[in-house]
Amino acid sequence: MKRMMMTIGVVRACERALGRYGARLGNRQRTWRSAAVELSGTLVMPVRHFETGSTTGSVMQETETEVLKSLVGGMMNHARGFPIKGDGVEILGSPSQFYNALLQGVRDAQFRVVIASLYIGTGSLEQELLDAIADSLARKPSLQVTILCDALRTTRPFKESEKYPSSAAMLSNILSSDRVAWRKSTSRDRPKEPLRIGLYQTPMLSKMVKMVLPVRVQEVLGVCHLKAFIFDDNIIMTGANMSTSYFTVRQDRYLCFPNCKNLASYLCSLINTVALHSYNLDESGQLQPRFAHLNPVTESELFATEFSDAVKELTMPSLRTETLEGVDTWVFPTVQMGPFGIRQDEEALLWLLKQLPGGSDIHLSSPYFNLTPEYEDALLKAALEKNVTVLTSSPKANGFYGSSGVSGWIPLAYSLLEQDLHNRAMSIYDKEMNIMSIRNPKGLMIYEYERAGWTFHAKGLWCNLPGAEDGPSVSLVGSSNLGYRSRDRDLEAQVYLFTLAPRLQQQLERERDELFVDASRVTSSIFQGPDRQGGFFASLALRFMKPWL
């Protein structure tokens, strides 16, 4: 207990420091955002507010196309938009398909491979992927490879691996000059740095804090949680990492965008920007600052300022005057980087939930159920006039289920948080209207995913607009769990998808429905089970640790 209280004290000190960073950077962000909004008046698709009815009984009827045009126009105030061909998008359904797509992408790439993952595992499947990267570098002199991972997660010791003590040790092996054939190439087309491995570290982790906090606990201060895979102009957006479980028995989502040059280049620029502000991994497995003045430990404030400026410049909204005419699908990438005052994804999603018209059918998935108050309130308010369904993992399908030590209590913590939302949904209190205990006319339902031998990691959103016949017109996929960590400490990347392409809509519907095949609706009785009871001490601990889950 003494050690836990010491840990909480250190974490709270970090939280106060994080607040100071946010305050300084937030002023810069408000100036940037105001400029964007001022310019956005040139859009030809104004944002409309939809109503299901009024006191006079009038109803505004709009087609799916008109609604989507309005949503796309409004989204351009929040992020850069990229028009694509919806029929070309492919949605993978299984971890094995995901792994095969990665392997094929590495083998087929001609000029760039850009990978962002929390970490890379140390198993045989991961080794095969790294071997494929080394082979492609040897065969293709002009190929440029960038791998971005988190420094804390990548250097954490792997007890399961006999060959490599950590993910960093495995990655450094591909850099070893005496074993890698691609280093011997003398081609003039060879890039100056054919393989770049960047390991991001949060500036919140000072030397003193690192000495006090246990290795695994250090990660709650913030990690690079981006997940994206680019092979030339082909993209895979997912929430999955490069690890054996994600290739075999951990269910996630995987959206493939082929031949999307502009979108691919944008995502590559984002990942490269983070990589340039990260440590370099050298051949010996050591972390080396790329630039002395950008060391997140010794120059944390300067690092935070320069990193923030670089990302904000990249993520400026579209401010376009284009319309949806002739385009059936739009993609909007967003980022959430709370430590640097960048809250683009949070603002976009809250705006979207508010703008979706009454009668919409919304499904939202988060495997680690710790929604922020803003998201919870937005969903409960949406449930007054829309069908809202939330999907999460059952305790047994949680990735921490069966873990030793404190981690073993995490599934119970998420279950207690899930119970809180369930109870709120049963009795809505609307302060503005001063109405209590109203059963919402549409409703919010919660489902839990559980499949024998599998864990659940799918996250994102699907929305069927009123009158849609083919499936969801709006979707969101990426790395964010929509919790406190995603909002305040981790680096996240997502893409919002708006489409009228029937084939893509049908794929989205099939993807969503297949996730619910192994899901059961949550009722109050579920939380009465002995494995769902927390007790006083669990509730007290949850109160302190909720902002860090």
The ranges assigned to domains in the chain are 63-86+323-548, 88-311
Average pLDDT, the chain: 85
- C-alpha pair distances (Å), 237 with each of 102, 112, 122, 463, 479: 11, 16, 22, 18, 9
pLDDT single digits (tens) 439-485: 444 689 999 999 999 999 999 999 999 988 899 999 999 999 999 99
pLDDT in tens, 224-251: 999 999 999 999 999 999 999 999 999 9
CATH: 3.30.870.10, 3.40.50.150, 1.10.8.60, 3.40.50.300. Which one for 88-311? 3.30.870.10
Please answer whether residues 223 and 150 qualify as being in contact, where contact means their C-beta atoms are separated by less than 8 angstroms: yes
* 93's tokens: 């359904």
If one looks up domain 63-86+323-548 in CATH, what number appears?
3.30.870.10
* Per-residue model confidence (pLDDT) at position 513: 98
10 Å CB burial of residue 211 (0-12, 13-18, 19+) is exposed
SS in 3 state form for 136-174? HHHHCCCCEEEEEEEHHHHHCECCCCCCCCEHHHHHHHC
| Least confident piece of the model among 87-96, 135-144, 244-253 | 135-144
Q: How many CB atoms lie within 10 A of CB 88?
A: 15
**184 burial level (CB within 10 Å; 0-12, 13-18, 19+):** exposed
326 C-beta neighbours (distance < 10 Å), count = 7
Determine the Cα angle at 493 with ends 148 and 203, to 5°: 60
Calpha distance 415→369 (Å, rounded): 8
> Rounded CA gap, 221 and 200, in Å?
13
Lowest mean pLDDT among 221-230, 248-257, 265-274, 285-294: 285-294
Residue 410: which pLDDT band, with cuts at 50, 70 and 90? Answer: confident
- Among the listed residues 69, 78, 150, 232, the single catalytic one is 232
pLDDT at 499: 97
Of 218-227, 282-291, 364-373, 493-502, least confident by mean pLDDT is: 282-291
Sequence-distant (6+) residues with CB within 8 A of 195 are 133, 137, 145, 147, 174, 175, 182
Q: How far apart are CA 140 and CA 127, in angstroms?
A: 20
Q: Assess whether 227 carries a catalytic annotation.
A: yes
One of 227, 277, 312, 442 is an active-site residue; which one?
227
What's the mean pLDDT in 369-397? 95
The contacts of residue 143 (CB under 8 Å, 6+ apart) are 109, 110, 111, 112, 113, 136, 137, 191, 194
| Report for 22-26, 56-60, 426-430, 493-497: range of highest mean pLDDT | 493-497
Q: Cα–Cα distance between 508 and 461 in angstroms, integer? A: 10
Per the annotation, the verdict on 225 as an active-site residue is yes
pLDDT at 396 over 50: yes
The better pLDDT of the pair 276, 410 is held by 276
Q: Which two tokens stand for residue 64?
A: 């799916």
Per the model's pLDDT, the better-predicted residue between 69 and 537 turns out to be 69
Residue 202's Cα: distance from chain center in Å?
17
Q: For residue 546, what pLDDT is reported?
A: 86
Q: Rounded mean pLDDT of 272-300?
A: 90
Could you give the angle at the alpha carbon of 181 between the alpha carbons of 261 and 244, nearest 5°? 65
- Banded pLDDT at 261 (limits 50, 70, 90): very high
Q: Do 63-86+323-548 and 88-311 come out as alike in CATH topology?
A: yes
User: Residue 292 pLDDT more than 50?
Assistant: yes
**Token pair in block for residue 231:** 């092979």
Q: Tell me, what's the pLDDT at 23?
A: 46
Q: CA-to-CA distance for 374 and 372, rounded, in angstroms?
A: 5
N-term to C-term CA, the chain:
19
Known catalytic residue at 232: yes
pLDDT, mean of residues 90-102? 99
The secondary structure of residue 368, as a DSSP letter, is S
CA dist list (Å): 297 to 19, 202, 208, 270: 17, 8, 10, 22
**Do residues 332 and 496 make contact, with C-beta atoms less than 8 angstroms apart?**
yes
Exactly one of 69, 225, 363, 457 is catalytic; name it. 225
Q: How confident is the model at residue 319 (pLDDT cuts 50, 70, 90)?
A: low
User: Residue 489 corresponds to which tokens in the numbers above?
Assistant: 């400490």
Dihedral, CA atoms, 120, 126, 132, 137, nearest 10 degrees?
20
